Amino acid sequence: MPLKIKNALISLSDKNELDKLLKILQKFKINIISSGGTFREIKKLGYKCTEVSEFTKFKEMLDGRVKTLHPKIHAGILSKRADKKHRREMRKTRFQYIDLVVVNFYPFQETIQKTKNFKKIIENIDIGGPTLVRAAAKNFSDVTVITDKKDYKKFIDELNKNNGSTSLKFRQEMSCKAFSLTAYYDSVLSNWFNKRLDILFPEKKTIFGNKISELRYGENPHQKSSVYLNDLFKPEMGLKKIKGKALSYNNFNDIYTGLEILNSFKKKGTVIIKHANPSGVSLNGTPIETFKESYLSDPVSAFGGIVACNFKISESIAKEMTKIFFEVILARSFDSKALKIFEKKKNLILIDISKFKISKNYEIRSFNNAFLMQEKNKIIFNRKNLKFVTNLKPSKKDIAQAEFAFNVCKYVKSNSIVISNSFSTIGIGAGQPSRVDSCEIAVKKAKKFQKKKLKNSVAASDAFFPFPDGVKNLIKAGVKVIVQPGGSIRDSEAIKLANKSKVKMIFTGVRHFYH
């Protein structure tokens, strides 16, 4: 049922668009209670207002930490209008009902993004605001709560429509939004404290998210999807879309995989991603050469994929890229001539990643009513712990090439086999339940697209070979260096086969499963 608003409490950190709100409250003769900066702003704008300390007959104290935390305020918000006992108690104390609460919080997240001053950060933890909002949200049957200035227009329309009243449906919607805000705010606080104290796995874990946008669709067109920002210190994702259609769930999934791999590079390179797996990776040569090499790794799979580069796209690179159909191109900026070339591709999405930075030291995956959380896989291998288990020992160049291939393995869905030559992939076998199948796929792709480069190539396996059959397939194809974690009960058989074939084998002691 519509509920007439007579008294409103307003306490705002962000006072933008306050005038719009005051006009509608004045129109329906709604009394305003406020304090501090909000009270002064209301008076400055020329509207009548009762200060909280005058309303409660209790002066604010502790440098403003205690002002709205008063029985007269919270009784006015929490009292149930239809409850006889509540009405009797309100009459006895001569407390007034508060029918509208308009609050936004101290900018805690914005503060930690701007300063490391601990005292200033602590003072920007809002107590009174969330308390008012929770009280009003709980009592939505009788109280309207507004926590977002984006809802001012909805609220104004609601009052005009209902002659100064709000509907139960509207109050429920605003209550739901209010509880989401207090949960978000507390989650930010909790995560900030955990990070400050270096607590990665607390007993109670909350995940906050600020909706960035709805996506074109989910993994499939019939699925809806949105992207949320979960970052304490950055107000944006760091991904600037230059042109192109709206992004989909799959686009983001591929983008994140590409960015993860790029983040592991120390040199300029290119990654091509398809269905969250790299189809080609190269650090070999100039920027344009790395693009060509990564494409030649698997030109069939590259079709319709995304390209991720950690360099600026020039006109010559753009010309090469537009010869192929890609959905998304990521780069550390684009020069003006490149942009003109890309402009011809109407649906092509261009994203500037020059301000993107990976800051999380953990990752989360969810399913149904549970989620998994783990540390990020930050290492490739430790060179000091490598074991050269064959008669022929690898050279420094071999080790560098093995490190490249083993690094790519980290980002290929398990079971994964990566064959490379001269710091460019030439065959990738991904996501197979059987390791020997992954070997066969990697070899098959290399033979199809880069047969000449199979000779003296390097192969990396994300986990040990349970049987020597996979090793046999790689050696037969022309692989001369194999890098793997080791640890199988049949390691000796693989080593024996490598020695017989004059192949070098390296054990890392590090596994890189990726599911």
Q: Which residue's structure tokens are 């349970």? A: 466
Nearest-angstrom CA–CA distance, 19 and 236: 29
**What would the two tokens of residue 263 be?**
């983040």
Pairs from 327-334 (Cβ < 8 Å, separation ≥ 24) = 327/251, 328/244, 328/247, 328/251, 328/254, 328/255, 330/239, 330/255, 330/258, 330/259, 330/262, 330/306, 334/242
DSSP secondary structure string, 407-466? HHHTTSPSS-EEEEETTEEEEEE-S-SSHHHHHHHHHHHHHHH-GGGGTTEEEEESS--S
Nearest-angstrom CA–CA distance, 12 and 206: 26
Helix (H) or strand (E) holding 406: helix 396-409
User: Active-site positions?
Assistant: 138, 275
Nearest-angstrom CA–CA distance, 67 and 58: 8
- How does DSSP classify residue 70? S
Nearest-angstrom CA–CA distance, 160 and 167: 12
Classify residue 209 as left (phi > 0), alpha (psi -120 to 50) or beta: beta
Nearest-angstrom CA–CA distance, 23 and 271: 56
